[in-house]
Amino acid sequence: MKITGRSAEAIFDSIREGIGSGQLAAGSVLPPVRELAERLGVNRNTVAAAYKRLDGAGLASTAGRRGTVVRGPAQA
C-alpha cells in the first residue's frame, strides 16, 4: 500500500483508509518515521504526529524503536 500525504492529518487519513480497506492488515509494520518522512518529503515530526494520532485512535501501536504496528480497524 502506498501511503500519501503532506500533513499529519493527510498521512493519518491515508493509513486509516488502508486499514479500513484491508490493504494494511493487523500486525503489519508501518515504515519507520524517518523513512516515510523522506519518502513523502515532509518533516519527520509530521509523520510522528500522524503515527501518534493512529495510536490514540487505537488503529496502531507505537513501540518507539521497535516500530509502529497496525492493530486493525476500530471496533464499533
User: Which domains, from first to last, does the chain contain?
Assistant: 8-70 (1.10.10.10)
Read off the C-alpha cell for 6.
Answer: 503532506
pLDDT-derived band at 65 (thresholds 50, 70, 90) equals: confident
Predicted model pTM: 0.91
Reply yes or no on whether the pLDDT at 49 is more than 60.
yes
Q: Which residues contact 7 (CB under 8 A, 6 or more apart)?
A: 42, 46
Mean pLDDT of 55-72: 90
Reply yes or no on whether the pLDDT at 34 is more than 90.
yes
